[in-house]
Amino acid sequence: MAKKVLALYYTQTGQLADIVDQFTAPLIAAGASVEKLNIKPVNDFPFPWKSEVFFDAMPESVKGIPVELQPFSFKEEKYDLIIFAYQPWFLSPSIPATSMLKHEKVKQIMRDTPVITLSAGRNMWLNSQEKVKRLLADAKAKLVGNVALVDRHHNLVSVITIMHWAFGGKKDKYLGIFPRPGVSDEDIQNASEFGKIVLPYLQAAEWNGMQEKLVAAGGLEIKDDIMFIEERAGRLFDLWANAIYGKPGRAFKLLIYKYYLLVALFLVAPIVLTLNFLVFQWFFMGRNARQKLYYAGVTLKK
């Protein structure tokens, strides 16, 4: 019997659709039946973004407030594997991704089913993956693998280029000198390699050892400096979201948040990272190594 695979995703730019296509190609070539479902909100987020709309997505992203999704249905009642492909927004799963994971139909189909998460973000996916892990656990899904593709350029370079992409709508070189934003074409093509790794595990319906293989093949990378920023920024984003969501003065507070974010990224983060590199990291080497191992895995901290 052909294995049944469901790939659920949302994408604004098409990047994640290309990655899902590459990832699933080896499964299809081996005879698996792969159903790909691009699920959209009833009121979709506009792309390219306008600045106010972009930052306005922060509180709901961080607090995991779902939106209504366009109607969808599954061909099968049960799948051998579900690939949940998503993008981080503000260190959280995007609002459409959260909406899927909180949708009764998705929770039902995921119950007791192996799930592989496949994300494509700028470079900060650790907090969002923790939130996704929790939502999968709520749905009683079995997370068996995770691949996280990112923009490999320097953190600040990727902030500039993603803004150019998000606000201009084109995945091209800003001013002709910056690199192209997002996941590189090479990494998108290479996503098929991860599909090849998954194939024998799908065929055997036995997932032990797969995540280690995906990590060894470059399915994700955890950098010390990004981990350092994310662990602190996640808590600060919670404070901002709580101060804004459902409270008066939303537009004004979001304007302040926008400038806070720019100052935090371009001024505070480089200083703090330098201090961490020179001083703090030496005291936390064991802890950091343990954290990295945890983030590279598929278990959820109690």
Ligand X SMILES: Cc1cc2nc3c(=O)[nH]c(=O)nc-3n(C[C@H](O)[C@H](O)[C@H](O)COP(=O)(O)O)c2cc1C
Provide the token pair at 150.
């990112």
Provide the token pair at 15.
């990047």
Spatial separation of the C-alpha atoms in residues 280 and 232, rounded to whole Å:
14
Residue 301 carries which side chain, given as an amino acid letter? Answer: K
Q: For 70, which DSSP code?
A: P
Residues 209-238 contacting ligand X, CB under 6 A: none
Contact flag: residue 93 with ligand X (CB under 6 A): no
Piece in contact with ligand X (CB under 6 A), picked from 9-17, 68-76, 109-117, 271-279: 9-17
Of 15 and 113, nearer to ligand X (C-beta) is 15
**Minimum gap (Å) between residue 290 Cβ and ligand X:** 23
DSSP-based helix, strand, coil % in the chain, nearest 5: 55, 15, 30
DSSP string, 30-52: TT-EEEEEE--BSSPPPSSPPHH
Pattern 146-165, ligand X, x by CB under 6 A? ----------------x---
Contact flag: residue 123 with ligand X (CB under 6 A): yes
Contact flag: residue 23 with ligand X (CB under 6 A): no
Q: Which of 259, 262, 254, 260 is nearest to 55 (CA)?
A: 254
Contact flag: residue 15 with ligand X (CB under 6 A): yes
Which residues face 148 on adjacent strands? 119
Of 152 and 290, nearer to ligand X (C-beta) is 152
Torsion sign across C-alpha atoms 176, 179, 183, 184: positive
Pattern 35-54, ligand X, x by CB under 6 A? -------------------x
Site size with ligand X, rule: CB under 6 A: 21
Question: Binding residues for ligand X, per CB under 6 A?
Answer: 11-13, 15-16, 54, 57, 87-91, 120-125, 162, 166, 182
